[in-house]
Amino acid sequence: MQVTEIYKSLQGESTYTGLPCVFVRLTGCNLRCTWCDSEYTFQGGRKLTVEEVHDEVSRLSPNGGLVEITGGEPMLQEREVVPLMQRLLDDGYRVLLETSGERLLERVPARVIKIVDVKCPDSGEGDTFCLENLEALTAHDEIKFVLSSRADYDFAREFTERHRLAEQVNAVLFSPAFRKDAAGARTSSQCLLDPQELAEWMIADNVPARLALQVHKLIWDPATKGV
Ligand code: SF4
């Protein structure tokens, strides 16, 4: 499999936020979100076997714990990624899969916690969500909307209500996008959508969703990679 980086940090954008976590970031993505902060994963990386990735995870976190498979889009490498996730589960790791929602998720092992994006209109990749994935969701999964405008918020709210997402998954996350070129100041003023404004909309509408900030960008310089 083609891997951009494997590193240990804190989980930063789900209900697992703040927990130590090993990240396996795979190379390649078939989407081009306008605010993407992972463009460095589109090319390059190194070729590793499932066994080599597993060994590196074990070295960084020898006593189990949280592992997140992310990218790029990890499900582009489904043939290797599914056995890797199964191997990590068998070893007692809690496995998160962060995915754009564009690929079919039916072959993801049931015990994997899927954190599935639904791309909003101003990402430039609206309408890419694979609706069949709604059938693959379980009560421990999470759905994430990254928002950069009021139009994105309205889309996310309407989609959440229409598909009764809050009744199907552990959490529906509304996350303000950070500016792609955010660097230096570790503050939410670097978001494309003001979190305070988003919070006020969510309170007014009593939305069954959780406001989620990318906390690693408030802890480290937002331009820092490998955290
Ligand atoms: S799906 Fe993720 S990695 Fe791909 S372009 Fe969008 S934000 Fe970037």
Residue whose CA lies nearest to ligand 1 atom number 5: 32
Rounded Cα gap, residues 176 and 104, in angstroms: 25
Q: Is 29 in the pocket of ligand 1 (CB under 6 A)?
A: yes
Residue whose CA lies nearest to ligand 1 atom number 3: 72
**What is 168-184 written as a DSSP string?**
TSSEEEEEEPBPTT--S
Report the pLDDT averaged over residues 202-220: 94
183-199 residue pLDDT tens = 888 888 889 999 999 99
Counting from 1 in the atom list of ligand 1, the atom nearest the Cα of 72 is 3
Angle at 124 between CA 118 and CA 128, to 5 degrees: 40
Alpha-carbon dihedral angle through residues 192, 197, 198, 202, given to the nearest 10 degrees: -170
Cβ(217)–Cβ(13) below 8 Å: no
Rounded Cα gap, residues 157 and 121, in angstroms: 13
Cβ(76)–Cβ(107) below 8 Å: no
Residue whose CA lies nearest to ligand 1 atom number 1: 100
215 falls in which pLDDT band (50, 70, 90)?
A: confident
Rounded Cα gap, residues 40 and 4, in angstroms: 8
* Prediction pTM value: 0.95
107-128 residue pLDDT tens = 999 999 999 999 999 999 999 9
Q: Is 73 in the pocket of ligand 1 (CB under 6 A)?
A: yes
Question: Hey, is 35 helix, strand or coil?
Answer: coil
Q: Is 36 in the pocket of ligand 1 (CB under 6 A)?
A: yes
Rounded Cα gap, residues 59 and 185, in angstroms: 33
Residue whose CA lies nearest to ligand 1 atom number 7: 36
The chain-wide mean pLDDT, for the chain, equals 96
* Cβ neighbourhood burial of 81 (10 Å; 0-12, 13-18, 19+): buried
Pick the closest to residue 70 from 34, 106, 40, 107 (CA basis): 40
Say how many Å lie between the CA of residue 38 and the centre of ligand 1: 7
